[in-house]
Amino acid sequence: MMRMKGAVLLLFYVNFEEVFMKFFKAIAKPFTVFNPDRSALYAFVLGAASVLGFAPFNISPAMLATLMGLFFLWQKAETSFEAMRIGLWFGLGMFGLGTSWLFSSMYFYSGMNIVSSALATFIFVLFLSLYLLVAGLIVSKLKQSNPDRKWVDLAIMMPLVWVLMEWIRGSWFTGFPFLLAGNTHLDTWLDGYAPVFGVLGVSWAIATSAGLFVLLLKSRLWLPISAAFACVWLLGAGLKQITWVHPEGKPVKVALLQGNIPQDKKWLASEFMPSMKVYVEQTKQNMDADVIVWPETAIPAYYDLVQEGVLKSFIRDAQLLEKDILLGVIARTNDHEKYYNALVNARDSQEFYYKKHLVPFSEYFPFANFFKALSLLFNIPFSEFSEGDVVNKPMKLGGQMAGVTICYEIAFGDEMAKTVAKTRYLITVSNDAWFAHTFEPAQQVQDVQMRALELGREIARSTNTGYTMIVGVDGLIKAKIPAYKAGVLKGDVQPYVGETFFAKWKLLPIQLLMGVGLMFVLGARFYKSRKKAVSAE
């Protein structure tokens, strides 16, 4: 009897262990995507190396070369899971290094400890990397099984999937259009696509070039592939020759202030008056300018308080002299329920521009409910900024209509395009002291250059610590002053009229390109499946 009970117990244990192991493997399988094989490690290195294409490195071929590597790995992937893992690890390398400045902002300036800063940064990087995981899944499902049709994968499908994911990443969940491949090829033949298709069009040209290059290395059809590669680049060069907009009216004389107030001192009560003294003195010395621009949140206090307090006489003088002085302030509603990162013209203190797109982990926290649940474990401060309603609001400054944006919003070209026809030039302000001595300030310079090129408007940019500059409609920097030094950039901003193709049609052309291209890919797969079915009959 005892032996029988023992046998039953042993059998139960064996069955339970087998069932448990199957259950555990089923639960754990999705997480094995984090277990890197050789291809995943290659993808991680390639992703990290792609950051060399962006500022401050500006090695344009790096983006082209790393996309070649990614497409080659995707082409070799035998399963959907492998392709997904390759995409994920490429993203971890790219965003882990490329957005490492988020950690700096949280740890040094947001009051978070090192563990919670690292955790929040990793979660955000992982979230961004999931877009490339999905890209890997799509690539694996659309790949052609016929070796003679590999050109469809490399020259059409993979480049379009890459651009599709950039578009989705820049649009969904409030959008994060940083580290877009197109920014790496400013001042090259390929930036001719920007006024037509926007930055995503430049990304498409880079990705298509990468796919064609891989195809060139794997195929003997050198002549047609080389011709296609040349066409992509020559078309970009040809588009650069088109004049989309033209100057109208006399230049606007601007004075762009750079106070260089350290972020760790900016919000201290003891530093408020010294900071105001810096900006007021810079303003008084440049009253001959048509427009004077203070940086983002240059006044670290509620505007309704300083308007009737320490800056009352300054604002009154600006109104008496009818001088356009654009102030970076914090505004709040009358009931004090909402707070905004804002701009206001001291000449007319009733007209505000409220920042719409807030910076993650410095002005708001993504996954807020999740972080609030962990707030007892991690000392995470929460910002209370609210979102505005529109990007690139037109304001009359210096006798001309200017579109104004704050910081991170300069990355949203399609939203800025909605109002650009009403403007003659653009002004953007920023406080990159949050990310001092990291990649972010230089990366944002590329965004400013790309917007000028896309929208056909000169841009004046005032920042707290740099880079303060003026950018021409060709995307090139006309004038700038050194970063991390107090100073004033005085210069002329030329008003322009007319619209680029992108400013008029926004994302529609690139969306049509993606739609037609992906329909062609699906058609090729359907044709192959249909042909197999007919052969079987």
Query: Catalytic residue numbers?
Result: 296, 355, 407
3-state SS assignment for residue 226: helix
Residue 488 half-sphere exposure toward CB, CA atoms < 13 A: 21
Residue with tokens 């990793």: 122
Backbone angles phi, psi at 343, to 5 degrees: -125, 145
Report which DSSP code applies to 385: B
Q: At what angle do helices 222-239 and 199-218 cross, to 10 degrees?
A: 160
DSSP string, 147-166: GGGHHHIIIIIHHHHHHHHH
Q: Cβ neighbours of residue 174 under 8 Å, at least 6 residues apart?
A: 357, 358
Residue with tokens 């009051």: 111
DSSP string, 411-426: G-HHHHTTTGGG-SEE
List own/partner pairs for 512-519 with CB under 8 A and 24 or more apart. Answer: 513/160, 513/197, 513/201, 513/204, 514/160, 514/163, 514/164, 514/167, 517/156, 517/157, 517/160, 518/142, 518/157, 518/160, 518/164
Q: Cβ neighbours of residue 166 under 8 Å, at least 6 residues apart?
A: 177, 180, 181, 200, 203
User: What Cα–Cα distance (Å) separates residue 179 from each residue in 153, 182, 373?
Assistant: 24, 8, 30
Neighbours of 496 (CB within 10 A): 25
Backbone angles phi, psi at 482, to 5 degrees: -60, 145
Task: Check if the beta carbon of residue 82 is closer than 8 Å to that of residue 130.
Answer: no
Give the β-pairing of 459-463 and 469-471: antiparallel
Task: Check if the beta carbon of residue 156 is closer than 8 Å to that of residue 118.
Answer: no
Residue with tokens 């094995």: 32
CA distance 275 to 281: 10
CA distance 141 to 149: 15
For residue 194, what are its two tokens?
């920007």
Environment class of 376 (CB within 10 Å of its CB; exposed 0-12, middle 13-18, buried 19+): exposed
Environment class of 251 (CB within 10 Å of its CB; exposed 0-12, middle 13-18, buried 19+): middle
CA distance 462 to 536: 68
For residue 26, what are its two tokens?
């089923």
